[in-house]
Structure 1
Amino acid sequence: MKQPSKRVLVTGATGFTGGALAKKLVERGDHVVALVRKGANIAPLEQLGVELVFGDITDADAVSKAAQGVQIIYHIAAVFRTAGHPDEYYEAVNIGGVKHVIDAARTHNVARTVHCSTIGVHGDIEELPSNEESPFNPGDIYQRTKLAGEQLFAKAMDDGLPGSIFRPGAIYGPGDLRLLKMFKQIKRGFFPLFGGGTNLYHLSYIDDLTDGIILCGEHPNALGQRFILCSNEYGTLKDLAATIASQLGVKAPTFAPPIGPLMLAAKACEALCRPLGIDPPLHTRRVEFFVKSRAFDNSKAREMIGYQPKISTREGVKRTIKWYQDNDLL
């Protein structure tokens, strides 16, 4: 039986995850409203017939205007680790933006609000695979402000706001550009596995993720809960690189230089550049990609709300490569 259409608000709809979510909601028959900043690439949303409300997540009045008459809010907007932003901007978006969404949901009696957090709130922890109750250990301004935003939202749920929280794994798939550099390096035959590539890496394919996000917005068991949304499988960075190489028809990376010199170089770059207000060409967090293990347990989402990731890493990599090639990126 087809579900009746809903009027829903998606923040962050010009981004990768928010855009994919908006597209899926439109395709299933929902009326999607998107809060978008002036100057953003709105063409894909216009083609979908999304209703656009211009404004910024840091503007309480704009958020409230966008939330009028909606039944569900999917709050995806956030500021990531991009160059040149002061700490105050992360706080304004990743914490202040959450407060504006909470206030708008309360003002307009929104039936359900879903908040996008990050598995990064767990930081670098020893317990693997981690779950929703694992310790918090944020490692940078992005992770710290995302944790503060999640805790603000959790407090609102405790105080009666009908909602849920999800923490996605490393999101990838057609449309994503964050892993493009890795794919390009592997295709060229030079992707150094610093430290050996034995650290664990856990992905979340975009189509599976958006299915999970919608479950957070509609399943009765999701109310008041936090869920990790990620693939059913994870493996080492070396295994992921080999899978990408296999799908590209090239040799799997084997060069494994030590991590120490690279980390020292990254720390030196940060020490020299930050006092000058320059974004370092090499960050310690980029080096940590090669050493930090990230593996998670999605059983709570599977058991409570019927979350069912369908795309294997091999199939997801295959589809991502095709999209890169179709768009002359790889």
Structure 2
Amino acid sequence: MKYPLPDNSSVLITGATGFTGRWLVDKLLNEKVRVKVIARPSRRAEELKALGCEVFEGQIYDPATVAAACRDIDYIIHIAAAFREAGISDDIYGKVHVDATKLLARAATAIPGFKRFVHVSTMGVHGHIENPPANEESPYGPGDLYQETKLEAELWLRDFAKKSGMSLAVIRPTGIYGPGDRRLLKVFKMAQWPVFPILGYGKCLYHLTHVEDLTNSFLLAATHPAAENEVFLCGDPEAISLVDMVGISAEVTGHMPKILRLPVTPFFWLGDLCELVCKPLKIEPPIYRRRVAFYTKDRSFDTSKIRTRLGFENVYSNRSGIIETVKWYQDKGWL
């Protein structure tokens, strides 16, 4: 592993049953470290137990669960997040992002010899980038409850670390993808249609980070002295347009759809209507405002800080990562 944790150390991972968290768990289980996770009872939690993780079953925002999990650990890598989906009430975002972060941080300060808290935030705290590329110091502009509560948690944690002396590093991932990802799968499925619709008439820039690179950044941030109390955007050196993503996908599939630009405002209205109808019924909306906004926000960043300060090296480029991911989707029969 490129950036290993010290042998015989103990790490607590939140969000371990998710895409990014599970990728990190699999990486660490091949090393001489103890892996603890907090997870709700589920099939995925049972899989983690079978793999050798010490699983603390419960909610990430439950004080008793957090207290039990935070005994005798050296590192916390806090990945857990609540994403917009059917059945999630608005208060869950605050509980998962803000309340859980406070519980974990306060527990960390009571652990003798605790080394570092790695907090996984999001590029979304910056919102739409008017004059790309943005960097870690660019203005905040969260556009929804997910991003607002992620920002609230990050700012509280940075202030808490400064006051308490807790060692902290913050990673703001750009768009996470790779084999196993399902959120960007929708884009690549659409790339197989005869016509690929793009809402709005902007550049539609998106900044990607392969999950292999992202999980490497967590481990580097956990151990590098220069990461102390710093914030790092993690992503490819360059943003990529949605059209170029479709073009790289076509190199694998042999299918390049016709690009069709559509006005975005009616889709915002439709998304609001779908959420209004589906949310009380706990049905996943076929379209919602955040998904529509994906097409309208340029997200392009200067991600050089993590490379210049910490010596981080990307394993994947946009092209190599997308090609690998699309091939994986094909192998799974998803495309």
For the aligned pair, the TM-score class normalised by the smaller chain equals: over 0.9
Contact 2:129 2:300 in 1 (8 A): no
How far apart are the structure 1 equivalents of 2:88 and 2:208? 27
Does structure 1 residue 111 correspond to structure 2 residue 118? Answer: no
In structure 1, what is the equivalent of residue 104 of structure 2? 101
In structure 1, what is the equivalent of residue 317 of structure 2? 312
Deviations 1:134-168 (A, max 9, x none): 11111111111111110111011111111111100
Does structure 1 residue 293 correspond to structure 2 residue 333? Answer: no
User: Structure 2 regions of 5+ residues with no counterpart?
Assistant: none
Contact 1:117 1:168 in 2 (8 A): yes
Give me the CA root mean square deviation. 2.1
Does structure 1 residue 48 correspond to structure 2 residue 51? Answer: yes
Does structure 1 residue 153 correspond to structure 2 residue 157? Answer: yes
Residue 192 of structure 1 aligns to a residue whose secondary structure is strand
How far apart are the structure 1 equivalents of 2:100 and 2:333? 35
C-alpha deviation, 1:56, in angstroms:
1.4
- Equivalent runs, 1:11-160 vs 2, <5 Å: 11-109=14-112, 110-159=114-163, 160=165
C-alpha deviation, 1:277, in angstroms:
7.8
Q: Return closer, same or farther for 1:322/1:49 CA change in 2, 3 Å cut-off.
A: farther
In structure 2, what is the equivalent of residue 232 of structure 1? 237
Residue 187 of structure 1 aligns to a residue whose secondary structure is coil
User: Structure 1 regions of 5+ residues with no counterpart?
Assistant: none
Does structure 1 residue 254 correspond to structure 2 residue 259? Answer: yes
C-alpha deviation, 1:103, in angstroms:
1.4
Q: Percent identity?
A: 40
Residue 49 of structure 2 aligns to a residue whose secondary structure is helix
Q: Return closer, same or farther for 1:70/1:283 CA change in 2, 3 Å cut-off.
A: same
How far apart are the structure 2 equivalents of 1:272 and 1:69? 47
TM-score, scaled relative to structure 2: 0.92
Letter aligned with residue 12 of structure 2: L
- Equivalent runs, 1:147-186 vs 2, <5 Å: 147-159=151-163, 160-186=165-191
Does structure 1 residue 215 correspond to structure 2 residue 217? Answer: no
Letter aligned with residue 107 of structure 1: A
Deviations 1:42-84 (A, max 9, x none): 2542343222121211111211211211111101111111223
Contact 2:83 2:146 in 1 (8 A): yes
Letter aligned with residue 94 of structure 1: H
Letter aligned with residue 138 of structure 1: P
TM-score, scaled relative to structure 1: 0.93
Letter aligned with residue 202 of structure 1: H
